[in-house]
Amino acid sequence: MRRVILIVMDSVGVGELPDAADFGDVGTNTLLHVYKANSGLKMPNLLKLGIGNIDGNSELGEVEAPSGTYMKLKEKSRGKDTIVGHWEMSGVITEVPFRINPNGMAQDFIDDFVREAKLDGVIGNVAGSGTDIMKEYGEEHLKTKLPIVYVSPVDSNFQILAHEEVFGLEKLYEICKVARRLLKGEREVARVIARPFVGTCKEDFVRTSNRRDYSVKPTGITMLDKIKEAGLHVAAVGKIEDIFCGIGITDAIHTKDNMDGVDKTLDYMKEIDNGLIFTNLVDFDMKFGHRNNYKGYGEAIELFDARIPEIISNMREEDILMITADHGCDPTTPGCDHTREHIPLLIYGKDIKENNNLHVRNSFADIAETILDILGVEKIGTGTSMISDILK
């Protein structure tokens, strides 16, 4: 029985899309710029799979004969965030962008949220970087015990910061669910995000791994739905369960960091004998991309690269490994938000063609169609299967 292991290196884009100017992202290339800013990276296993042979990325280091199939993919959806990227690679194209609130949330929503969540008020309601907002408002939060609310100026979300010991994790999650319920219709945003932190003052405040995302439900049938309906496993690692609101998933586990994500992926590879293991490694984006920390970003790539042989050694005869991304988040740019980029796709397995460059594909949805084809499951039709181009 075939299995596909799909690992998303969250935000590891490989170069601007043709419409990058519409998003203010001309010239971005997350992986290449991280490589250059760090004067090179030790990523022999990604290179062996062909990441440096992807069109336009030869400066990463081309190898003579990559061990798998490699390419980059364009995004059809209108957006550049986690939801849009993951949905598209699962077969759902987002044609109408999600609402963005660049100056904070409307006061009528804040009033409704405070009332429905039974709060005495909120602080913040500004747009900006979460780490900066945490330092600016965190001490006031400790004194007042009022949650801090904020938005990304360019992404569709509503985020709630609270001290997980003083305010409480469960209370934070509950008020996020209230916000998710209220943010519908004209108010709808892609995600409500719980952002717990710890510390005693702005000098030592730090966000924890207990983040939770409360997403809108997918607007169409995904490959997860199709695979589950066929009686196969869909095992979600990391925030995959949150991204799809648990829909189409048979097994799920959250993770603390990238290395825990790899560990949990390996656990599922030992436990689950069919279907899809779908993993998101969020550290690249959350810990480093949004904080313009190109050094930490590079170190995270090297750490993941070092685990690839372990993943491959645990693959079964018919397993297929896919490594990709969902958007960019170039940490060398002045801003700290996602960037509109191509995503890489590396495909490896005993039945996969070696040294096989498929160049540029027209949609992330080609991933979904190919996985469904590999598993012998009815396809969705929003992308084009690559099965005839990748199998020996």
- CA-to-CA distance for 328 and 338, rounded, in angstroms? 6
Mean pLDDT across 322-349: 96
Please give the mean pLDDT across all residues of the chain: 96
Residue 192: HSE in the Cβ half-sphere, 13 Å Cα cutoff: 23
Q: Which two tokens stand for residue 74?
A: 């364009």
Q: What is the pLDDT of residue 335?
A: 83
Q: What is the pLDDT of residue 340?
A: 97
Distances in whole angstroms, Cα of residue 348 to Cα of each of 225, 278, 309, 312, 389: 24, 15, 12, 9, 13
Which residues are paired to 104 by β-bridges? 102
What confidence tier does 153 reach under pLDDT thresholds 50, 70, 90?
confident
Structure letter (DSSP) for residue 147: P
Q: What is the pLDDT of residue 154?
A: 78
Structure letter (DSSP) for residue 260: H
Q: What is the pLDDT of residue 329?
A: 97
What confidence tier does 353 reach under pLDDT thresholds 50, 70, 90?
very high
Can you list the alpha helix ranges (DSSP code H) found in the chain?
30-37, 44-49, 82-89, 107-116, 130-144, 169-182, 223-229, 240-243, 258-271, 283, 294-313, 365-375, 387-390
Residue 219: HSE in the Cβ half-sphere, 13 Å Cα cutoff: 15
**What domains are there in the chain, each with its CATH number?**
3-94+217-390 (3.40.720.10), 107-215 (3.30.70.1250)
Mean pLDDT across 27-56: 98
pLDDT, tens digit (0-9, with 9 covering 90-100), for 76-132: 999 999 999 999 999 999 998 899 999 999 999 999 999 999 999 999 999 988 889
pTM of the model: 0.91
Residue 8, SS3?
strand
Summary count for the chain: helices (H), strands (E): 13, 14
Q: What is the pLDDT of residue 16?
A: 98
Q: What is the pLDDT of residue 336?
A: 84
pLDDT, tens digit (0-9, with 9 covering 90-100), for 276-312: 999 999 999 999 999 999 999 999 999 999 999 999 9
pLDDT, tens digit (0-9, with 9 covering 90-100), for 225-235: 999 999 999 99
CA angle (125, 128, 129) in 5-degree steps: 120
Distances in whole angstroms, Cα of residue 176 to Cα of each of 212, 217, 221: 9, 15, 26
Neighbours of 174 (CB within 10 A): 13
Q: Is 254's pLDDT higher than 80? A: yes
Quick one: which H or E segment has residue 126?
strand 123-127
> Between the CA atoms of 161, 165, 171 and 173, what dihedral angle is there, to the nearest 10 degrees?
50
Which of residues 334 and 356 earns the better pLDDT score? 356
What confidence tier does 155 reach under pLDDT thresholds 50, 70, 90?
confident
Q: Is 1's pLDDT higher than 80? A: no
Indicate the angle between helix axes 169-182 and 107-116, nearest 10 degrees: 130
| Listed residue (373, 381, 294, 279) closest to 326, CA to CA | 279
Q: Are 386 and 358 in contact (CB under 8 A)?
A: yes
Chain-centroid distance of CA 273 in Å reads 25
